Amino acid sequence: MATEEEKKEPVREPEKEPVKEPAKKEKKDNAKLKEAQKEIQELKDSLSTERDKYLRLYAEFDTFRRRSAEERLNLVASAATDTIKGLLPVLDDCESALKLLASSGDEAAAEGPTLIYNKLMTYLKGRGLAVIEAKGAKFDTDFHEAVTQFPVEDEAQKGTVIDVIQTGYTLNGKVIRYAKVVVGA
């Protein structure tokens, strides 16, 4: 009788897999890797495109916001300009009244209108109104409107403003009414 050890079949070593299979596995892994890299690149491109769209939209919104703020400021400024332009004839009348009261010699009567005129001018100057100083200045078409020319003997007065017919004003550096002047010729 054979012993139990002899009865058992000899242990065989497992067969080794052929060398070709790891190469196939490697090829599959490489293909999966390339596919994943391609997908990553597509996602990066998509992200880049979306980021670009976002930045453009943000820039457009920022431009819109700035433009809207500027338009609001311009609207307020134009409303103030219209209001101040409406007050210019009142200022002209005050100046005329002050000249008449000054020539009448009654200082008490001139004191009240002078205070009112000064308060009004102080308020308007605080809002950006400025008088165009014209008398004695060189004629400048940017600020003056020549109503007439007056012949002068002195060569130094030629081209200068001799008299102011109507006072001119600027509002925040922009002319809202030109000074109507007489120019020496």
Q: What is the pLDDT of residue 6?
A: 55
Q: Tally the domains of the chain.
A: 1
pTM: 0.57
In the numeric block, the tokens 């080794």 are attached to 16
Q: What pLDDT digit, counting tens, does each position of 28-84 carry? A: 888 889 999 999 999 999 999 999 999 999 999 999 999 999 999 888 877 788 888
β strands within the chain, DSSP E: 129-132, 144-150, 161-166, 168-171, 174-177, 179-184
Whether 137 is in a domain gets the answer: yes
**CATH number assigned to the domain comprising residue 159:** 2.30.22.10
Whether 115 is in a domain gets the answer: no
Whether 145 is in a domain gets the answer: yes
- 167 neighbors 95 (Cβ within 8 angstroms): yes
Q: Is pLDDT at 15 greater than 80 in this prediction?
A: no
Domain boundaries, position 138: 130-185
